[in-house]
Homo-oligomer: A and B are copies of this chain.
Amino acid sequence: MTEAAVERAAEVLTPYCRARDVLDRVGDKWSVYVITMLGERTLRFSELKRNIHVITQRMLTVTLRGLERDGLVERTVHPGYPARVDYALTPMGESLLDTMRALLTWSVEHVDEIDTARRHYDHTKPATTNP
């Protein structure tokens, strides 16, 4: 009856289809950085830009828009000149950060093991799709 179990697993995956949106967030390079940074405290656009120095302005904007749209980050505009905008995690954003941290922890803990596995794999199985 393991067969049925597998089919059940396949069905269980259905709701995950919708969960993909969330997983994509975590899989998104910049979102993780931004969420982690904002987990520390509210930050302005330029502060985020400065701390994640390798990010492009465009990508920071795009990332923040996405996070705002998903209700994970709140954007607050302080009128004046020059304009000033604050970004902060919403409760849902903080909730995600908590969950995400577990995965980050796992990642950091297993990076070495994965590296080892990769080296071993690359060593024993000289690239099939090469040159």
Contacts and interface: CB of A to CB of B under 8 A. Distances in A.
B6 A108 contact: no
A58 to B, nearest CB: 12
B108 A15 contact: yes
B99 A100 contact: no
Contacts of A114: 21-22, 70-72, 92
B9 A40 contact: yes
A60 interface: no
Number of copies: 2
Contacts of A10: 37, 51-52
Interface bin, chain A:
35 or more
Given A68-B121, A118-B69, A111 B37 contact: no
18 contacts: A5-B40, A6-B43, A7-B51, A13-B33, A16-B36, A16-B104, A18-B108, A18-B111, A19-B104, A22-B114, A23-B27, A23-B104, A26-B103, A69-B121, A70-B114, A70-B118, A71-B120, A96-B106
